[in-house]
A = this chain, B = another copy of it.
């Protein structure tokens, strides 16, 4: 048992995966000696060598494409994209090859690749370093998309993602890299899955009865804080941590919506055509008669991510979420 940051939790998960399966390789710009710009791969090249922990040329399509080639031969590459805004050069390989090869080959070719993307804002960074592009990947059949919200889940889910036979886009909430939790980060959760649930199931992060807040990744903590603040005002909010965006655990969402009758979805990405739209549409369809209010959404504006000095206004925060909660309660 130790106090562990999310960054360290992922580091531990990667180390365990590298130890468990010699076909696991890490690939990504600066993940070697530097340990990645967030130090998530710290020490791994020193331990496993530069044939297992590869810091490749600066070319994301090249990294993704060669990772696919390695996976075709039975390897399990874990690719790090340095920041959210730099995944787009690899988009073609992801959408046309990574997502579709298993189908195209009628199952003959598996691509158990994990694409780790530190994403989201709130760290005062320059442009292209604070984006939330998860909707693009969620809309793309053939990919799985997940995002842990806390150190323990990060530790467990990265191992599960690597063990998964499908490609996984693994969104790491970079502003939560330094959040801490206490747990044993030496457990191989794949070899010994006792007590570890499926990464594709949502988690009730807090129980409540009046309204359901839905979030994933960085916004889960924000929603927990909202629930705390709302409790002070006498409101009981349930918080669902989605964990996996594709597949989406609709059953858990529906159960919670059925219980509370009200739902607010929160994500950093622009609201328009974001993941929240899917949640709203699907939950509304399944809970049409039980909803007391429309599913409301709080998210980024329909605008490019703004400069750091004003990002607080772009990002959902306690006040904006509470405002939506008020609105939903007022129906």
Contact = CB atoms under 8 A, between A and B. Distances in A.
Contacts of A91: 88, 91-92
B281 A285 contact: no
Interface string A24-58: 00000000000000000000000000000000000
A322 interface: no
Interface string A282-312: 1011001000011111000111100000000
Interface string A253-276: 000000000000000011011111
A225 interface: no
Contact of A88 (B96, B248, B278, B331): B96
Given A138-B273, A270-B139, A128 B281 contact: no
A124 interface: no
Contacts of A251: none
B304 A104 contact: yes
A103 interface: yes
B141 A270 contact: yes
A184 B288 CA distance: 47
Nearest to A300: B141
A122 interface: no
A92 B277 CA distance: 24
Contacts of A99: 304
A175 interface: no
Given A270-B139, A280-B280, A281-B276, A104 B127 contact: yes
A96 B85 contact: yes
Copies of this chain per assembly: 2
Interface residues of A, number: 47
A296 B303 contact: no
Interface in A133-177: 135-136, 138-139, 141-142
Contacts of A295: 281, 284-285
A273 B88 contact: no
A37 to B, nearest CB: 19
Contacts of A11: none
A9 B127 CA distance: 40
B272 A138 contact: yes
A95 interface: yes
A229 B308 CA distance: 55
B294 A288 contact: yes
A95 B270 CA distance: 14
Nearest 8 A/B pairs, CB to CB: A88-B92, A280-B281, A139-B273, A277-B277, A91-B91, A288-B294, A277-B281, A285-B294
11 contacts: A88-B96, A96-B128, A136-B139, A141-B270, A142-B303, A273-B278, A276-B281, A277-B282, A281-B281, A284-B295, A288-B293
